[in-house]
Amino acid sequence: MKKRLIVIGGGAAGFFCAVNAARLCPQLEVLLLEKTGKLLSKVKVSGGGRCNVTHAAPDIPYMSKHYPRGQHFVKKAFGRFFVPDTIQWFADRGVMLKTEADGRMFPVTDSSQSIIDCLLREADQYKVKVALHQDVTAIQQQENGRWQLTLQQGPPLQADYLCVAAGGYAQADKFAWLKATGHQVEAPAPSLFTLNTPGHAITALMGVSVPLAHVKVAGAKLQEQGPVLITHWGMSGPAVLRLSAWGARDLQQLQYRFTALINWTPAFNENTLREELQALRFSLGPQKMFNKNPFELPQRLWQFLLLQSGITDATRWADMPAKAQQQLVKNLAAMELPVQGKTTFKEEFVTCGGIRLTEINPSTMESKLARRLYFAGEVMDVDGITGGFNFQHAWTSGFIAASSIAAQEEA
C-alpha cells in the first residue's frame, strides 16, 4: 500500500512541498488540503498581480537580515535551498525571472499567473491530489506513528507524513489544534501594514510618492528609510511597511497610537537643513518659493509643506520670515504625524508569530517533538519584510520539508 503525505494549506509553501515531494518520491501519494475555495491566493495578488517571487540577495547573511523574526533559522535553512535554487527551479519549468532595480524578482511575464500555472502543471504532472473546502480541526498521532486528521466536514483522514503549511493566524486561539500536539506558539501580531493618520491635512495629497524619506517612531529606536506613499488614510510605501514589520510587536503594544516623524529630505538633519535654507535665501533670493523646489520633492508636497509653515504662494526666498523658516525646517526634516490605527496592506498581509522555532529542525523542517510532522511557510514564527523575502522562506521551507520526507521514504 502506498504511503501518504498530506499537506495542509494550498499557498506557496504548501504547494511547493506537495509538488516537490511527489516529484522526488513517485511512490508517495500526496494529498493537498485547502480550507478555502482558492489555491495560491497570495501568489496571485503579490506585487500588484505580478508576484514578487524572491529577492536577488548576494548571499545568505544579507538575505537573513531581512527577517524581523527567524533570522538564525532561515540562515540555516537557506544553506539547503536558496535564491539561485528558486530561480533555477522555475527556469527549468519555463518560467524565467527578472530582477528590478530594488532587488525584487518577478516573472518576465509580469504576471503572477505564470507562477500559478507552473505550480498547477507540476501538481498535475506528478499526480498531486488537491481537495478544496477541507478545514482541518485536529491532528493526532496514533500509536502506529500515522497521523489522523479530523475535518470540519467529512470522515477523518490518515497520513504517514504530515506537513502543516496553513499560513499565519491573526488570533492566538486559531493555533489551538497545533498546540494540542505539544508545540508552543509565539503570539501572533500583524506585520506589513500601513499607518493611519485620520483627519490630517496631508491625506489630501493621496497618490503622492516620495522616492526617499526617513520614517521614525517618536520615542523609540524604530526607523526606516525608503520610498513613502501618501494615501487617503495615511502613510504607506516600502519604508512604512518595513517599519511595521520590524516594529510589529512594539506597535501592537502601543495599540497603533504613536507619533511618526518623517524627514522628507533625509540628506539633511534639522541643523544642516537650517544652514541649507539660509544659503538658499541668498542664492535664490528674488525667486518665489512656490515655484522653486530645491529638494526635488513632488511639487504638491513641497507647496503643502510651505503652506503648513505659513509661507504663501507670493513669498520670495529672500523674504521668508524667520518663524516660517524654523517651521519649514521642522516640516521638512521632522514632520510630526499622529498615527491612530493601521490598515492591512492589500491582501498581502503577513503576521508575525507562529510555531516556536526551537521546536523545528531548520535542516529538515521536521518537528522536534513529533516524528513525521513537518512545517512550512508562515505558520512558523518567521516573517520577512516586503520585497520577496516571505516567498523565499515559503519556497525554501516547502522544498526542505519535501526533500526530507522523500529521503525518509527512500531510507
Would the pLDDT of 359 be above 80? yes
**Residue 108: Cβ within 10 Å count:** 10
Confidence band of 218 (pLDDT split at 50, 70, 90): very high
Q: Looking at the structure, do residues 176 and 291 belong to the same domain, yes or no? A: no
Residue-wise pLDDT for 366-383, tens only, equals 999 999 999 999 999 999
Q: Looking at the structure, do residues 259 and 181 belong to the same domain, yes or no? A: no
Cα–Cα distance between 372 and 152 in angstroms, integer?
23
42 touches 393 (CB < 8 A)? no
Q: Looking at the structure, do residues 253 and 388 belong to the same domain, yes or no? A: no
Q: Looking at the structure, do residues 277 and 398 belong to the same domain, yes or no? A: no
**Residue 40: Cβ within 10 Å count:** 22
* CATH code of residue 218: 2.40.30
Q: Looking at the structure, do residues 299 and 254 belong to the same domain, yes or no? A: no
- Between vectors from CA 79 to CA 73 and to CA 83, what angle results, nearest 5°? 100
CA dihedral 108, 110, 115, 117 (to 10 degrees): -100
Domain that holds residue 151: 4-189+348-410
Q: Looking at the structure, do residues 86 and 154 belong to the same domain, yes or no? A: yes
Residue-wise pLDDT for 36-60, tens only, equals 999 999 999 998 899 999 999 999 9
90 touches 96 (CB < 8 A)? yes
Residue-wise pLDDT for 27-36, tens only, equals 999 999 999 9
Phi-psi region of 268 (alpha: psi -120 to 50; beta: other; left: phi over 0): beta
Through-space distance between the first and last CA atoms of the chain, rounded to whole angstroms:
17
Cα–Cα distance between 221 and 90 in angstroms, integer?
39
- Tell me, what's the pLDDT at 346? 57
Q: State the chain's mean pLDDT as an integer.
A: 96
For residues 102-128, average pLDDT? 98
Would the pLDDT of 331 be above 80? yes
Residue-wise pLDDT for 128-137, tens only, equals 999 999 999 9
- Tell me, what's the pLDDT at 350? 83
Residue-wise pLDDT for 295-324, tens only, equals 999 999 999 999 999 999 999 999 999 999
Would the pLDDT of 345 be above 70? no
Would the pLDDT of 348 be above 60? no
What is the pTM (predicted TM-score) of this model?
0.92
* CATH code of residue 361: 3.50.50.60
Q: Looking at the structure, do residues 13 and 142 belong to the same domain, yes or no? A: yes
Q: Name the domain boundary from 344, 369, 402.
A: 344
Would the pLDDT of 347 be above 70? no
Residue-wise pLDDT for 58-84, tens only, equals 999 999 999 999 999 999 999 999 999
Cα–Cα distance between 12 and 384 in angstroms, integer?
15
For residues 243-251, average pLDDT? 96
Would the pLDDT of 410 be above 60? yes
Residue 341 Cα distances to 79, 204, 229, 256, 281, angstroms: 39, 18, 17, 5, 39
Q: Looking at the structure, do residues 38 and 76 belong to the same domain, yes or no? A: yes
Count of structural domains, the chain: 3
**β-bridge partners, 194:** 343
Would the pLDDT of 155 be above 70? yes
Q: What percent of the chain has pLDDT over 70?
A: 99
Q: Looking at the structure, do residues 43 and 102 belong to the same domain, yes or no? A: yes
Q: Looking at the structure, do residues 197 and 274 belong to the same domain, yes or no? A: no
Cα–Cα distance between 265 and 272 in angstroms, integer?
11
- Between vectors from CA 350 to CA 69 and to CA 165, what angle results, nearest 5°? 85
Residue-wise pLDDT for 248-267, tens only, equals 999 999 999 999 999 999 99
Q: Looking at the structure, do residues 286 and 156 belong to the same domain, yes or no? A: no
Of 39, 191, 174, the C-alpha closest to 115 is 39
Q: Looking at the structure, do residues 184 and 85 belong to the same domain, yes or no? A: yes
